[in-house]
Chains A and B, each alone.
Chain A
Amino acid sequence: MDPTATSVAARYTGARVHRVEDARLLTGHGTFVDDVVRPGMLHACFVRSPFPRARILGVDSSSALALDGVHAVFVAADLNPDVCERWYGLTGKNTPDTPRPPLAEDEARFVGDPVALVVAESRYIAEDAADLVDVDYEPLPPVVDYLQAHESAGLVHEGYENNVAGRLRGGKPDAVEQACDSAAHVVTETIYQQAYAPVPMETRGLVVEWSGGELTIWAATQAPHEVRAFCARLLGIPEHSVRVIMRDTGGAFGQKILPLREDMCLMLAARKAPAAVKWIEDRRENLMSAGQSRHEHGVVRMAFDAGGTIAAAQIDHVQDVGAYPTPWPVGTGSAVGMLFPGPYRIPVGSWTTTSVFSNTTGRTAYRGPWQFESVAREVLLDIAARRIGLDPVELRRRNMLDRDELPYANPNGMRYDHMAPREVFEQALAIIDYDAFRREQEEARAAGRYLGIGTCSYVEPTTSAMAHFSTEGATIRVEPSGKVNVYLAGGSTGNSLETTAVQLVADALGCDIADVHTIQGDTAVTPFGAGTGGSRSGGMIAGAVAETASTLRERIVAIAAHKLEAAAEDIELAESRAAVRGTPAVGLSFAEIASAAYFDAGSLPPGMPAGLEASGRYHNKTMSTWANATHVCTCEVDPSTGVVTLLRYVVSEDCGPMINPNVVEGQIDGGTVQGIGGVLYEHLAYDEDGNPISTTFLDYLMPTIAEVPVIEHGHVETPGPGPGGHKGVGEGGAIGAPPAVVNAVADALAPFGVTITRLPLSPAALMSMLDERPVP
């Protein structure tokens, strides 16, 4: 595929090069969706249900419409009948799905459910008008707590008995029972995780303009082509009549991978509006209705022989999917079961997953959506180690997969390869100096201070070959001046895809990095691509660039060889120049070659097409590219206040050869701190009546710079099967951090006999655990 690339050593790939995004972002010249202004643009605001469950008897918009500057008030009857199709490329047309109307029709199903859409001259007026829309509600008893949903008299959606959205199961439950019957130790716990959410700093938003039979959308999105295709199907118009543009998106973490109900409303309403319509979600809306994640529990069981070798592992997983999950949540739930065995040698396993509706905000994707597999497994392993009387690290050492056992099929059907679980585990322990910490901990305890250490080891399927994730295209154009443009689908939401693309192309073509520019995020000019998700961008962009650049290299080399009267195999490409090996003075700049290709095509070698651009598409045939990592952290817990202070934090990860270590470490750090927040601070909470009680940043507490530890990194590089060997790294931090923090806190409190099985670990929660601990 890449016959001549070996003639130039990688110069930029692997280096900590400056990001090309930074100059505009640092100086306030980024273009986020709220920065887009269109002629005559109107502004939207949603009227949202104040009740968790209520019949909608009527909507009176007359007062709102009487307000100066109000253009329209849309209700369900205005927009919902226009829906043609509403399936996502991510899940495909034939996957089962749950209800997802644009506006609530006869019933509102959570506090924040959009009931009407006001369009006005300004957001200020739209908000005034939203207050004037009079909705006649008849409150109904809500299903607030998913734990009680199966026995609730009410149904969130008709037709879903016991409020169950779906169930799946796998593995060999009978074999697990047999293993447990004969095991020396069987450890069972029910582990609960609270709801928290992606919470990007930029909320959701889009500008939709219908003009001359064409629709243009400026979006905050991870996947512009998904938005385009979805919108075309939604409205029943040709895909090429929709153009989606995104430049800068202010974080997403899963929340912006699929158009949600508000996006559908804007797409439908814009066709009825005389000008572009902008909707920018405010923070209260974001925390109330942009979705919840992580709210789930598992009954987890592991069997061990007398020496601590794992004989079987089982998880019965139940997740809260709220009222309107996106996408179909049952498939994601199954990943919890299939990944539950993690990086350990486990002969038999079984799993079930149940998705349960409630009258709360719908479940949406969040960085490592299956993350509970690691929470359940790693927290249980620490509990088991204490019960068996082994150090948790020793228990893991006895069960960790070795590289020479790969490929290895876990008992639930996942086939692992190209990873190094034991290497990252031992590297992380060495960096933190585990044995030294145990000594320090002992001395601290003697002095009345409670320190703890916790680990989490996980494996992660990245760069999926599932459905539309399996290919990625690139167009590379050497412009007539010799400057290079690479066109990619994009969907960068902070993950540095522009820098990544520029690095890879500069190496693949042998040009100076300053000569390469990239255009991403505009469906009118970029090849189809599935966007950012599933830790796929690095590996897939590398594949697309390799596939495309190889063709272009051959042509550049052939033109240079022809003009220099040299053999093609003697041409070297470096620093935007094609030169004869051993005679560097004899050569042509890319500018000279491009000039010939565009303006003097007669001088090209016989049969060579004019111009200098190529398009290619990488097809990834490996179902999962496995990344893996170990997180280790230490903490101190003040048993008189319940306050947890993290002391040191180490992540050792194996994402294969890094394209840019700054970007890799940045992804790990960001994910890790989100995971820390999820354990210690963040809780997307509802009261018992179904009211959301964390809809501001004074209530929904995210980590600040004052709380976070310095994160130390170790890298192990086991190349994956794809071009360059790059593996995904975007999600892992958010998977590995929560169990490591929980285990560190549990370790600190071990002298008190506390067993932690319920999150979050707020000071109040820890104090109540300490108060309720069993009397020794």
Chain B
Amino acid sequence: MPEVDIEVRVNGTRRRARVEPRLTLADYLRDVCHLTGTHLGCEHGVCGACTVLLDGAAVRSCLVFAVQAEGAEVTTIEGMGSAEELSPVQEAFRDHHGLQCGFCTPGFVVSVTALLRDNPNPTDDEIRAGLSGNLCRCTGYQGILAAVRAAAGRS
């Protein structure tokens, strides 16, 4: 299948590339854009580690082809806060031990950011439902729940 030219805005920067139609958005971000903060935990859309914002919507970048992002705005973990200035969500994760190995963390941070944007004051049940599509194997979710509560209080 012939390669396809795409243009995507990634974290505010316009990027052009020629890609195979089968290239996933996740692999495009990691291998073409060299933004390796987006992680792949299952590549079948369950674990949520690869979550990014596509035109503002939290999506699993392993289930989207790069060509489907043509003309879209993509925000990855690299577009959310910096080591020097963490976002409120990132700060809450640090304060509440919401991460251990950090592999699932970018997906959680992106998902929580979208969740709190859409629902700034979620109940515990809404937090649990909203994040049930992100798997973490280290924390037992205890620090994550505490972090989201704290981030909601702040935002």
Contact = CB atoms under 8 A, between A and B. Distances in A.
Contacts of A249: 101
A251 B138 contact: yes
A611 interface: no
Contacts of B80: 27
Interface stretch (B2-10, B41-49, B64-72): B41-49
Contacts of B144: 705
B140 A201 contact: no
B76 interface: yes
Contact of B94 (A19, A199, A495): A19
A200 B22 CA distance: 27
Interface size class for chain B?
Answer: 35 or more
Contacts of A708: 140-142
B90 A251 contact: no
Contacts of B131: 704-706
Interface string A653-690: 00000000011011001111110000000000000000
A551 interface: no
A30 B139 CA distance: 18
Contact of A710 (B22, B101, B138, B145): B145
Contacts of A35: 30, 36
A494 B97 contact: no
A696 B44 contact: yes
A666 B101 contact: no
A673 B141 contact: yes
Contacts of A460: none
Contacts of B138: 201, 251, 494, 666, 670
Nearest to B92: A26
A37 B137 CA distance: 26
Interface string A240-259: 00000000111101000000
B104 A496 contact: no
B122 interface: no
Nearest to B84: A23
A201 B48 CA distance: 10
A696 B46 contact: yes
Interface centre among A24, A666, A672, A702 (most CB of B within 10 A): A666
A26 B86 contact: yes
B65 to A, nearest CB: 12
Contacts of A29: 37, 78, 83
A436 interface: no
A26 B105 contact: yes
A199 B104 CA distance: 13
A283 B43 contact: yes
Interface string B127-149: 11101111111111111110000
Contacts of B101: 25, 200-202, 248-251, 493-494
A32 B103 contact: yes
B97 A706 contact: no
Given A34-B36, A669-B139, A704-B135, A24 B100 contact: no
Contacts of A696: 42, 44, 46
A599 interface: no
Given A201-B138, A666-B139, 13 more contacts: A22-B102, A23-B86, A27-B86, A28-B36, A28-B37, A202-B103, A283-B43, A494-B100, A666-B142, A666-B143, A674-B140, A705-B136, A706-B129
Interface of B: 20, 22-23, 30, 34-44, 46-47, 49, 76-78, 80-83, 86, 90, 93-95, 97, 99-106, 109, 127-129, 131-145
14 contacts: A22-B94, A26-B83, A26-B90, A34-B30, A249-B101, A251-B101, A283-B41, A283-B42, A666-B140, A696-B46, A697-B46, A706-B132, A711-B140, A711-B142
